Amino acid sequence: MMRSLLIFLMTGLLTSQAAEPVDELLTRLSTEFASIQTVQTRFVEKKKIRILEQEMELTGWLAIEKPERHAWRIEKPLACTLIIADGKVRQWDVDSQKEQSFSSRRNPIFSMVLDQMQNWFSGNFVSLLDDYTVTLQQEVPLTLAFVPHEDSMNAQVIKQVVVTIRDDLRYVQSLRIDDASGDTTMLTFVDTVLNEPVPAKTWKVNRHGR
């Protein structure tokens, strides 16, 4: 009986002590990432679609410029560009051979997704605590699991987001999104360059998506 009680008390003590370091870790990461103003990186996206029982792979290039500029350029298996900047979402439409755009600020769902994406890629992890429960999955490499609260809108579409941080703690190494539907998306970032000026042409939607 005494042994069981000691184990119970020690387990509770360890759990209570572990919760605080995660909060401190998120604060430290947010501070580290706060110095990053621009990101330019290549990425590999692998998506497993449960219903099709197959994996799709996309490769391309991503640029981020704070506070809210994103440029996604997919190169393979098809050329596609998506620019999110100055309150607008723009892309090249192959069928009409014209640039299409809409206001990201007038679309509440897209605005929510954009805010979430901004937090993941800018390392503003502390702000996610309002909507997610965070646990430390692994120390080396540093891996964090974000599980949405049951009463949040995110829980309707996301099961969890697993973020792996680079060894130097300067940026995200990979990000895995497990959908509530059973689909999984893994983004891995390579050849990442931080705090270098992003060329002006990056924010233009070029014909053929390049």
Dihedral angle over CA of 28, 144, 60, 85, nearest 10: -50
pLDDT at residue 123 in the model: 83
0.85 exceeded by pTM: no
The H-assigned helical ranges of 95-190 are 108-122
State which fold the 26-209 domain adopts: outer membrane lipoprotein receptor (LolB), chain A (2.50.20)
State the DSSP H helix or E strand holding residue 21, giving kind and residue range, or none if neither: helix 2-34
pLDDT at residue 191 in the model: 95
Tell me the pLDDT of the chain (210 aa) as tens digits. 434 433 333 434 333 344 447 888 899 898 888 889 999 999 999 999 888 877 899 999 999 998 888 999 999 988 888 898 888 888 877 667 778 888 877 776 677 777 777 888 888 888 888 889 999 999 999 999 999 999 888 888 899 999 999 998 889 999 999 999 899 999 999 999 999 999 999 988 866 444
Across the beta sheet with 143-148, the strand order is 98-103, 88-93, 80-85, 69-76, 54-65, 38-49, 184-194, 172-179, 158-165, 143-148, 132-138
pLDDT at residue 8 in the model: 36
pLDDT at residue 210 in the model: 44
Q: Where are the domains of the chain?
A: 26-209
pLDDT at residue 43 in the model: 96
pLDDT at residue 162 in the model: 96
Name residue, tokens 């995200």. Answer: 172
pLDDT at residue 149 in the model: 93
